[in-house]
């Protein structure tokens, strides 16, 4: 069971010690954590060992990580393009 859940704010620490902030979009059964680092819909598969949970900071609320993935209903959802990128909408 992963310590991460959808909506968590995280920092990804790379091999050089640099960090990128993002938000967890989903967690796969094999433990990979998919994180949105930008305002687009794409989520990157991350090794949980490289992620740390962080408390949301004021500036994070101003960035729409994952575009509309975290909205209850995404008005831009289109099954021909979004499903492949959005596991919670039926993609893989």
Per DSSP, the three-state class of 83 is helix
**Residue 71: domain span:** 9-89
Band (pLDDT 50/70/90 cuts) for residue 68 is: low
CATH number of the domain that residue 79 is part of:
2.30.30
Q: In this predicted structure, what is the pLDDT of residue 26?
A: 82
Measured distance CA(82)–CA(76) in Å, rounded: 9
Number of domains in the chain: 1
Residue closest to 10 by CA, chosen among 27, 73, 1: 27
From CA 90, how far away is CA 12, in angstroms rounded?
Answer: 26
Q: Is 2 inside any structural domain?
A: no
Q: Is 24 inside a domain boundary?
A: yes
State the pTM of this model. 0.72
Q: Which residues contact 31 (CB under 8 A, 6 or more apart)?
A: 2, 48
The answer to the question of residue 3 being in a domain is no
């Amino acid at each position: 069971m992963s310590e991460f859940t959808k909506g968590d704010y995280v920092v990804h620490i790379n091999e050089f010690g640099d960090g990128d902030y993002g938000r967890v979009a989903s967690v796969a059964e094999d433990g990979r954590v998919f994180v949105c680092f930008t305002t687009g819909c794409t989520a990157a598969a991350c090794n949980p060992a490289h992620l740390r949970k962080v408390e949301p900071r004021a500036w994070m609320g101003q960035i729409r990580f994952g575009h509309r993935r975290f909205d209850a209903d995404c008005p831009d959802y289109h099954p021909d393009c979004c499903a492949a990128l959005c596991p919670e909408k039926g993609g893989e």
